[in-house]
Amino acid sequence: MYREIYYARWSTGGGAIQDALTHLINAAEYLVGPTNRVMADAANSFTDNCVVGITAREDNIKAALERSLMLVTALAPKYGYDRAAKIAKTAHKNGTTLREEAIKDGIPAADFDAIVRPEDMLAPK
């Protein structure tokens, strides 16, 4: 009688549910345990073989920053979204920088340099 109630009567919460959960937890621990070790080994290997000794190529970073079209958003408040978008699209099409296209569009170089300052675009003001 106890066995029938323990495994069959869902209305009383049957012990089979608890047994199933216990087995599921044990299976998860068995499977996740080795995964933690593999991930730790992968992180250590990545650090040892890829990160240690790496140095930034500042000249490359500066060149990429100068060619970044995202900086055009700084021009929008003063010169308008449409004009800024046109400058970005033209720079992309011609393979030129935003500064070159902005100057061609009539924006003074000094004004561009004062407005487009990536260091000022790191966080909201």
Kindly report the three-state secondary structure assignment for every residue of the chain: CHHHHHHHCHHHCCHHHHHHHHHHHHHHHHHHHHHHHHHHHHHHHHHHHHHCCCCCCHHHHHHHHHCCHHHHHHCHHHHCHHHHHHHHHHHHHHCCCHHHHHHHCCCCHHHHHHHCCHHHHCCCC
Evaluate if pTM is beyond 0.75.
no
Query: Residue 18's pLDDT is what?
Result: 65
Average pLDDT value for the chain = 84
41 and 83 inside one domain = no
Residue 10 has pLDDT above 60, yes or no: no
Mean pLDDT within 33-43: 81
Indicate if 38 and 72 belong to the same structural domain. Answer: no
34, 76 Cβ separation under 8 angstroms:
no
Per residue in 45-71, pLDDT (tens digit) is: 999 999 898 999 999 998 898 889 999
Q: Domain holding 103: CATH number?
A: 1.10.40.30
**CA distances from residue 125 to 26, 51, 65, 71, 74 in whole angstroms, order as listed:** 51, 33, 21, 16, 13
Domain count along the chain: 2
In this structure, the answer to whether residues 40 and 65 fall within a common structural domain is: no
On whether both 77 and 39 belong to a single domain, the answer is: no
Query: Is residue 73 domain-shared with residue 30, that is, in the same domain?
Result: no
Indicate whether 75 pLDDT > 70: yes
